[in-house]
Amino acid sequence: MNGLTAWRTNPGLDARPVFPPQVVVQVKALACELPFEKGIPLSRFSTSEIATEAIQRGIVAHISGATIWRWLGEDTIKPWHYRSWIFPRDPQFEQKAGPVLDLYQGVWGNLPLCPDEYVISADEKTSIQARHRRHASLAPKPGEGQRAEFEYKRKGALCYIAAWDVRRGKLFGRCEARSGILSFDRLVQEVMEQEPYRSAKRVFWIVDNGSSHRGESAAHRLQEKWPNLVLVHLPIHASWLNQIEIYFSILQRKALTPNDFSSLDALKDRILGFQHRYELIAKPFEWKFTREDLSRTLRKLSESSQPMNLAA
């Protein structure tokens, strides 16, 4: 009997076909392929399409999508899922991201931070729209989740600018009509003019490369106003290393989805109300991603971006 034939260990009606291990391996490998690279006009395979392709390629004589579903479930392979991502483009990605990860571990320049040194993660969540649904949303009921009307009227948009004290679990935020230098500086002022930051030895502000705090000019501008402020820039496309983004994702899930606000004032009240509510339970995030983890991740990305040796 060859690999093209499935057989049963038990002739009973409920017995499952048993396939040679090499067949299982080949089918899983097929599931990990990008169909269009093989000339198949598909973006992703479904289990039934994998079964059809396995038969057409002569991997197996007969197989069901349910069997393939079970095999893929064993290795959590989900070819029908996808997510967007961006390869690091900054040639100094690791050199720039490393100090930020050190700060999350309480280290700067290979020395531990002092008790009167603080780490702030800050960013803007821009263009948050207030969408007033044409009909009221319906509450959940047995067997059915909340229902939100598809059509809506635009009631404007605002920008939420927030800062997160990484070591203390303290949150600051304000809503502005738009982002920009003046809006960002108002948030910095709100933080830096209160204790313990006003009297701190150093306050490290971790930011991305947005126009309101980009480059050395922003560092000089802010340090002229607050000499104990140290601006630390992340590499380009490194929002996943900015802890304030964790809070933004919580805010989006818990307070802004579904989006149904009658006015900008209602949207502002929801955002700031949730901020106050979250502060009552906030604790520092358990950040475990280190410089060493970053190095391993970048090596994997570099390897995955290289052409595959199909002859290997």
> What domains are defined for the chain?
1-83 (no CATH), 93-135+151-291 (3.30.420.10)
Average pLDDT value for residue range 197-219: 95
pLDDT digits (tens, 9 = 90+) for 269-279: 999 999 999 99
Cα of first residue to Cα of last residue in the chain, in angstroms, is 28
Contact 120, 242 (CB under 8 A): no
Residues in contact with 25: Cβ distance below 8 Å, sequence separation at least 6, in sequence order: none
Average pLDDT over residues 65-75: 92
pLDDT tens-digit profile of 166-189?
A: 999 999 999 999 999 999 999 999
CA separation (Å) from 71 to 17, 20, 24, 103? 13, 13, 7, 43
- The 10s digit of each residue's pLDDT in 126-151 is 999 999 888 888 888 888 888 888 88
Is residue 310 pLDDT above 50, yes or no?
A: no
Sign of dihedral through CA atoms 24, 29, 35, 38? Answer: negative
Q: What pTM does this model have?
A: 0.79
Tokens of 218: 């922003």
- Measured in degrees and rounded to the nearest 5, phi and psi for residue 173 equal -170, 155
Neighbours of 88 (CB within 10 A): 19
Task: Return mean pLDDT, the chain.
Answer: 89
Work out the average pLDDT over 211-230.
95
Give the sheet arrangement for strand 202-207, strand by strand.
170-176, 152-165, 117-133, 202-207, 229-233
pLDDT class for 305, splitting at 50, 70, 90? low
Q: Which residue is listed with tokens 């509510």? A: 277
